[in-house]
Amino acid sequence: MMSTRIVNFRSLLILAFLFFATTASSTAQEDSKRTIPRQSVKDVARSRTPRPQNKTAQLFFDYYPAVLDLNFKDSEFVFVAIAGDGTTRAVRYGPYNPAIIGVYESRLPKISVTRFVARAEEIIPKASEITKPYIGSCDSESFRLSVDHQNKMAEHACLFAMPQEIRDFVEELRTVWKQLDEVPLAYGYLTSFPLHGDFLKSAKRNPRDYVSIRSFPPKLQAVVRKASRQTPKFYALSREQYDQLKAFTRYPSHPFDFDVVDNKSVYYLTLFQSRARAVPSVKRD
């Protein structure tokens, strides 16, 4: 299965998402402190000309801290989803469970969304080209950026190799949560990513390494399928749902992620537990 460090997940997830062009972490073990793997997709951008935003536009952004940083255990990952109507959600989380630090939601002004999408469409092909020599070997800060309605994605781009204009844009997206309202945390969260090709063949050859969705109670099946339709977003879980899903993990070395077979589909599920927090403020400064 998977190793205990983020760097060992990178090649597996990049391969998986070569076939996934419309959307784009793994938590860690409390006791053994297994790190959260990075989400990964294949760059399918071709055009360098920004296109007009439409109502279905969705911008997805992930920021990943440097794995080799001496303070990695205290570092923060950031996920941001911006819809065409301005509805925005950001998630801050650490590398070890309990991982979720904060969740933020609000609606950004239309002018801001238009600018974010236009800049992303301009930056994606540039970042994709610059980062090619570092694919699978970047241990510094990195990011992933996509605009799904154009099927344009940049996989993990090494931040240190980027020009200042791209670094500035990444920093703006990384801190956009400060413009949003902080919302109460759910007990836990779930992310789901589809696996294709060899993974489906492997599920047929080695069924013991996979969990059949048919073994889930009907309500839990619905949760997993709904989360899978919302990839790469974080799907909120109650404590009961979280505990039920955690009970289906099979290996002590990675008790917060597992692969689920649903008919002809295979999904890689990751569980995130929220950290204990005080009542959130109305809005961040």
Domain containing residue 202: 188-273
User: What total of structural domains would you count in the chain?
Assistant: 2
Q: Of 118, 151, 183, which residue is a domain's last? A: 183
pLDDT tens figures, 261-271:
898 888 999 99
- 32 and 156 together in one domain: yes
Lowest mean pLDDT among 21-35, 87-101, 150-164, 192-206: 21-35
Mean pLDDT value of segment 188-192:
96
163 and 210 inside one domain: no
- Give, in order, the Cα–Cα distances in Å from 227 to each of 38, 194, 198, 233: 18, 11, 23, 8
For residues 126 and 219, membership in a common domain is answered with no
Pair 203, 175 in one domain: no
Q: Taking residues 241-265, report their average pLDDT.
A: 87
Task: Evaluate whether residue 285 is within a structural domain.
Answer: no
152 and 61 fall within a common domain:
yes
Report if residue 260 sits inside a domain.
yes
Most confident region among 101-105, 148-152, 202-206, 263-267 by mean pLDDT: 101-105
Q: Are residues 131 and 153 located together in one domain of the fold?
A: yes
34 or 84, which is more confident: 84
Q: Are residues 139 and 234 in the same domain?
A: no
Is 134 inside any structural domain? yes
Question: What region does 136 belong to: left with phi over 0, alpha with psi -120 to 50, or beta?
Answer: left
Residue 278 maps to a domain: no
Say yes or no: 67 and 138 in one domain: yes
